[in-house]
């Protein structure tokens, strides 16, 4: 996931480190001592850099292309630094380019840059740890900031009255039905029971499609005939769940564009009848800004509590998902990452930041 962005961010953080080192000036000799054992352990997970730690010259090939994660091993103690914007102007510009090239939308890029600047520039900073950590933490907190609060579905289900009713909405072909099946499988794997409501009674073949999924993953499905009122199907699904102590109702619906007034009215009716706890808007990660606009249109008509972005596997850059997460203003529940039932990843801000920049609790 996010492979392109991940690699580029590693290189760019290294560049920040160099610039800050330069601005901080040379180290007094005794302060350039090797770090103590417990301090090394406190650093993020690293590839082995034993030779540098021991104060010896690293082998030639290790020195050739230093990355952010294996480069600076010298702890700088008691060194204070007041960074000015000019000290990090160049790496900031590079970071901006990396984000834009990886489909992070301009306003989101601007916000990440502004947060980094705010964190690093104009403050007297004691560099108690390595410069790498300073930059890394600042980038992590900027990313957490733009990703907002996440929504953990398992926690949500645990904390809400049963059955938890989830209505899936969105335009045609974005992956709603597949996602309903994936979420049912995910819930089942995590010890929750689910029933699927075959609420797409409109498109020919839709009921058989979801029936096949339900049978494969071994989840009960409630269906009526093609052309039936989807509100009635989903009402029955909720009644079934209540009667059988099922934890979650997952309601599939027909794809529709927001400008199809009759179909949107149908969705409003479903909402009134089914009374969902969560209305989840499903769109493709690769749709980028189009997804943001459509999500807002759906939000205005039927409401949206959370978003699922599918086909993230077709977007190695990953910036679009981050942009949508920020711009749409609703938590992203999952990313769809393929056509298999297991190809679904919870999209918690902390896990995204961990994926991109390594572990830690930056989004606390
Ligand atoms: N690569 C990839 N394909 C996906 C993903 N999610 C869904 N698909 C594929 O996208 C196509 C459409 O998926 P559906 O689940 O039928 O989409 P839908 O939104 O229910 O479509 P309508 O009911 O016609 O509106 C299928 O071929 C799915 O296998 C994903 O995360 N990655
Ligand atoms: Mg469908």
Question: How would DSSP label each residue in 235-258?
Answer: HHHHHHHHHTT-SEEEEEE----T
Query: 256 and 119, same structural domain?
Result: no
What span, in angstroms and rounded, lies between the C-alpha atoms of 133 and 258? Answer: 46
Pair (64, 173) in one structural domain? no
Domain stop point among 107, 122, 147:
147
Q: With both helix axes pointing from N to C terminus, report the angle between 319-328 and 131-147 in degrees, rounded to the nearest 10.
A: 50
pLDDT at 336: 96
Residue 335 bridge partners (DSSP): 309, 345
Paired strand residues for 280: 168, 306
Structure tokens, 354: 């961990």
- Is the minimum distance from the CB of 213 to ligand 1 under 6 angstroms? no
pLDDT average per 10 residues of sequence, the chain (364 residues): 80 80 66 45 45 47 43 44 82 90 90 91 65 80 89 97 97 97 98 98 97 98 97 98 98 93 93 97 90 89 93 85 86 95 93 82 74
pLDDT in tens, 167-212: 999 999 999 999 999 999 999 999 999 999 999 999 999 999 999 9
Tokens (6 digits) for 339: 């056509």
User: Dihedral sign, CA of 333, 339, 343, 349?
Assistant: negative
Say yes or no: 199 and 339 in one domain. Answer: yes
Q: CA 146 to CA 334: how far, in whole Å?
A: 17
Is residue 114, in this structure, part of any structural domain at all?
yes
Does any domain span residue 362?
no
DSSP 8-state class, residue 311: -
Among the candidates 113, 147, 181, a domain finishes at 147
Which CATH number characterizes residue 32's domain? 1.20.120.140
- Residues 285 and 252 occupy one common structural domain: yes
Q: β-strand 79-82 against 194-199: which pairing, if any? A: unpaired
Its domain, for residue 11, covers 3-147
Residues 191 and 259 grouped into a single domain: yes
**Which of 114, 147, 180 marks a domain boundary?**
147
pLDDT of residue 41: 44
Protein residues near ligand 2, an ion, with CB under 5 A: 176-177
360 to each of 160, 256, 363, how far by Cα in Å?
Answer: 29, 41, 9
Q: Ligand 1, residues 173, 185, 321: which to mutate, most atoms within 8 A of Cβ?
A: 173
Residues 259 and 329 in one domain: yes
Atom of ligand 1 nearest to the CA of 200: 23
Establish if 199 belongs to a structural domain. yes
Report the largest interatomic distance among the alpha carbons of the chain, rounded to a whole angstrom: 80
Does residue 314 have its Cβ closer than 6 Å to ligand 1?
Answer: yes
CB distance 313 to ligand 1 below 6 Å: yes
First-to-last alpha carbon distance for the chain, in angstroms, is 22
- Note whether residue 265 is domain-resident: yes
Look at residue 289 in the predicted model and tell me its pLDDT. 82
For the Cβ of 257 lying below 6 angstroms from any atom of ligand 1, the answer is no
Tell me, yes or no, whether 82 and 231 share the same domain. no
| 164 neighbors 248 (Cβ within 8 angstroms) | yes
What ligand has the least distance to the C-alpha of 255? Answer: 1
Residue 144 alpha carbon to ligand 1 centre in Å: 29
How many whole angstroms from 11 Cα to the centroid of ligand 2?
A: 41
Nearest CA to ligand 1 atom 21: 173
φ, ψ at 312 (rounded to 5°): -65, -20
Whether 95 and 208 share a structural domain = no
Cα of 49 vs centre of ligand 1, distance in Å, is 45
Q: How far is CA 353 from CA 27, 111, 292, 297, 361, in A?
A: 31, 16, 21, 29, 9
The CA–CA distances, whole Å, from 319 to 151, 152, 325 equal: 20, 21, 10
What per-residue confidence (pLDDT) applies to 40? 42
The answer to whether position 181 is within a domain reads yes
Please check whether residues 205 and 324 belong to one and the same domain.
yes
| 141 and 167 within one domain | no
Asked if residue 287 belongs to a domain, the reply is: yes
What's the CA gap between 154 and 95, in Å, rounded?
Answer: 35
Q: Is residue 53 part of a domain?
A: yes
Extract the runs of DSSP E, i.e. beta strands, from 83-163.
124-127
Regarding whether 221 and 98 lie in a shared domain, the answer is no
Tell me the best of 310, 340, 342, 343 to mutate to test the pocket of ligand 1, counting ligand atoms within 8 Å of each CB and taking the most: 310
CATH of residue 195: 3.40.50.300
Q: What pLDDT score was predicted for residue 30?
A: 47
Indicate the DSSP class of residue 29. G
* Strands 79-82 and 124-127, bridge-based pairing: antiparallel
Domain count, the chain: 2
138 and 157 co-located in one domain: no
In-domain check, residue 363: no
Q: Ligand 1 in contact with 176 (CB < 6 A)?
A: yes
């Amino acid at each position: 996931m996010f492979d392109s962005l991940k690699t580029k961010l590693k290189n760019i953080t290294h560049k920040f480190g160099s610039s800050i080192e330069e601005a901080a000036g040379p180290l007094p000799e005794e302060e350039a001592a090797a770090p103590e054992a417990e301090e090394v352990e406190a650093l993020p997970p690293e590839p082995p850099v034993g030779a540098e730690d021991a104060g010896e010259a690293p082998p030639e090939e290790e020195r050739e292309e230093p990355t952010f994660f294996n480069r600076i091993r010298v702890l700088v103690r008691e060194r204070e630094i007041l960074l000015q914007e000019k000290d990090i102007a160049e790496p900031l510009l590079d970071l901006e380019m990396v984000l834009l090239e990886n489909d992070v939308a301009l306003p989101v890029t601007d916000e990440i840059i502004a947060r980094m600047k705010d964190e690093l520039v104009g403050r007297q900073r004691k560099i108690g740890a390595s410069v790498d950590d300073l930059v890394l933490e600042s980038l992590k907190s900027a990313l957490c900031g733009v990703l907002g609060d996440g929504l953990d579905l398992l926690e949500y289900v645990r904390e809400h009255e049963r059955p938890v009713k989830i209505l899936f909405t969105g335009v045609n072909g974005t992956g709603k039905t597949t996602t309903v099946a994936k979420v049912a499988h995910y819930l089942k794997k995590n010890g929750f029971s689910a029933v699927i409501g075959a609420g797409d009674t409109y498109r020919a073949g839709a009921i058989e499609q979801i029936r096949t999924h339900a049978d494969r993953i071994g989840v009960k499905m409630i269906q009526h005939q093609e052309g039936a009122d989807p509100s009635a199907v989903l009402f029955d699904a909720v009644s079934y769940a209540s009667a059988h102590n099922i934890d979650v109702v997952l309601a599939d619906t027909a794809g529709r564009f927001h400008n199809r007034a009759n179909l949107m009215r149908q969705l409003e009716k479903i909402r009134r009848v089914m009374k969902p706890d969560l209305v989840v808007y499903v769109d493709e990660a690769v749709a980028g800004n189009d997804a943001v606009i459509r999500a807002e249109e759906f939000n205005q008509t039927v409401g949206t509590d959370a978003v699922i972005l599918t086909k993230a596997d077709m977007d190695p850059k990953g910036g679009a998902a981050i942009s949508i997460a920020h711009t749409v203003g609703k938590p992203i529940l999952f990313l769809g990452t393929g056509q298999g039932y297991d190809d679904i990843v919870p999209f918690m801000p902390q896990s995204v930041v961990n994926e991109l920049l390594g572990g830690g609790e930056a989004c606390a």
